[in-house]
Chains A and B, each alone.
Chain A
Amino acid sequence: MIIRGRTLHPGTATGEPIRLTAPLSFWGGTDEHGRIVDAHHPQCGAVLTGRILMMESGRGSSSASSVLAEQIRARTAPAAIILTRPDPIIPLGALVAAELYNLDLPVVLAPYDAIPDNARLHVSATPTEATITWTTA
């Protein structure tokens, strides 16, 4: 199966998906270990590190780009982020991490409803095109 989307930040990644049921702010919403700590979030306690994060959009604080960039530097960030609504703050964190550390976390705009929860995803985002493919166990 394949889904095409728009690249917000280029890169490639493989991993298991985690689908958020509510928007999340990385700042105040996740800790340095990539865990959701927002007590109001329905998935509080879940760890995002290495997962393909699927969420509608980010939320709240403008510091989210710093927190994401720091997680990318510390290797505790998600492997990739798929959004359904453009959010400028999340790709900005990825852009700065790429400038400073040459680490690319792909951020893609794509409808992800068709992706099953038990899939293993591959995200490939070039500046002009993004594709998401998967296999199921």
Chain B
Amino acid sequence: MLGGRDGDGVALAMRVIVGQARISDAPRLVEITSAHVDSCLYHGQVSLDFAHRLVDLGARVRVPTTLNVGSMDLIHPALVRDQELAAAGRELMAAYVDLGCTPTFTCAPYQLPNRPGLGEHIAWAESNAIVFANSVLGARTDRYGDFLDVCAAITGRAPYAGLQTSEARQGTVVFDCRALGDFLHSELAYPLLGHHIGSVVGAGIPVLVGIPAEVTEDDLKALGAAAASAGGVALFHAVGITPEAPREFAELPVREVDLDTLLRVRRELSTTGELDAVSVGTPHASYAECLRLAELLKDGPPLKVPFYLSTNRHTRERLKGAELDVLENAGVTVVVDTCTYVTAILSPDWKNVMTNSGKWAHYAPGNINVSAVLGSLAECVASARAGRVVFE
């Protein structure tokens, strides 16, 4: 492939893969079964230059490849205020579809059918998708940056390094969460816990003890997303829950997590007490989360502030003719294909935004210049109805 047998596009992709293999000391490459490409989010001229170079050189993906969020909601194009960004975002998303990628445009590809299974080698980008695939599904992907993801899809190969190897998947530090007790039965525990462990371990591999058996995939999504954005967590183990969690971990250092710590994290991530808008669904809200939001909004007083829900187009299709009407009639703006903190959707006049996402609360202040407040989904609804921040 390097020599150009499969065309110049494949050769370029292979140069990137081999270059990355050298950087990560990989002894060889490994064949992958799927890819998730994050490079379709517009970050400037370089994004288009790279995609167009691949298209012009005739490259195509050779494994099933999903696409991460873009900079544009293709179903509701008017939502993106910045026309220049919208046009570039649309052009970039189209270029990746031209390369043979499936137009899923979601940061939560694990909510789609045909997700990878235990032990499968994959090449996924997007930090929350990486940590979910590794931890909850037991598939194997290293932390791949933009560009590498699509090059892996085009070559069908990734460096055999990092979390592709068994040795690198062992836990490094235990977080004993048992003191949290009943708080672990609340959804709010998971973004807070994720942010805390991410801040503490950096790129280490946390082993969580005390996570209740009834924990949902949405809870683990929130935990992983916050841990990946606050630190560099690409894999965690939840003892008794996730497929590769160890049974023996007596030799690892132990850190206790108590309620005071998590309440402090909530205060750190909540930098305002005022409320101009609400944004939920980062990573993209699952079908179950959309149903729960519809249930919360079905009856009751109207929303006093703008309310945004980010989800994927696959989930929106499932909600059509039923809960989607409930959500939209209640005044919720449903955003697909992108997310409110990666593109220009929220009004620049809104400075105080409530979210149920640790990841959103972490990134939105830097990305779109807002102050965030972190609450549960129910608190977000109660606050939007009251027109001010309401904690339970």
Contacts and interface: CB of A to CB of B under 8 A. Distances in A.
Interface string B126-152: 110010000000000011111111000
A60 B146 contact: no
Majority SS of interface residues in chain B? Answer: helix
Contacts of B20: 88, 91-92, 95
Interface residues on A, range: 35 or more
Interface in B258-291: 271
A135 interface: no
B53 A100 contact: yes
Contacts of A95: 16, 19-20, 147
A64 B118 CA distance: 28
B38 A88 contact: no
B127 A32 contact: no
A70 B146 CA distance: 12
Nearest to B26: A88
Contacts of B15: 99
Interface string A53-67: 000011111111111
Interface stretch (A12-20, A36-44, A111-119): A36-44
Nearest to B16: A95
Interface in A63-91: 63-67, 69-70, 72-74, 85-86, 88-89, 91
A127 B27 CA distance: 18
B367 interface: yes
Contacts of A63: 38, 41, 43, 145-146
A28 interface: yes
In this complex, which of B16, B127, B162, B367 has the most chain A Cβ atoms within 10 angstroms of its Cβ?
Answer: B127
Interface centre among A38, A73, A88 (most CB of B within 10 A): A88
Interface residues on B, range: 35 or more
A88 B162 CA distance: 10
Interface string A1-39: 000000011000000000000010001110010000111
A57 B15 CA distance: 24
B125 interface: yes
A69 B127 contact: no
Contacts of B46: 66, 69-70, 72-73, 96-97, 100
A86 B142 CA distance: 13
Interface string B1-39: 000000000001001100110011100000000000011
B145 A32 contact: no
A8 to B, nearest CB: 5
Contacts of A100: 46, 49-50, 53
A106 interface: no
Contacts of B130: 62
A96 B147 contact: yes
Interface of B: 12, 15-16, 19-20, 23-25, 38-39, 41, 43-47, 49-50, 53, 125-127, 130, 142-149, 162, 202-203, 228-232, 271, 362-363, 365-367
21 contacts: A28-B229, A38-B366, A60-B230, A60-B232, A62-B38, A62-B126, A62-B146, A64-B145, A65-B145, A66-B43, A66-B46, A69-B147, A70-B46, A73-B44, A73-B49, A86-B25, A88-B24, A92-B23, A96-B16, A99-B12, A99-B16
A-B complex: 5 closest residue pairs judged by Cβ atoms: A65-B145, A70-B44, A89-B145, A66-B43, A66-B146
Given A62-B126, A66-B146, A88-B24, 14 more contacts: A28-B229, A60-B127, A60-B228, A60-B229, A60-B232, A62-B144, A63-B146, A65-B147, A67-B43, A67-B44, A86-B24, A92-B16, A95-B16, A96-B46
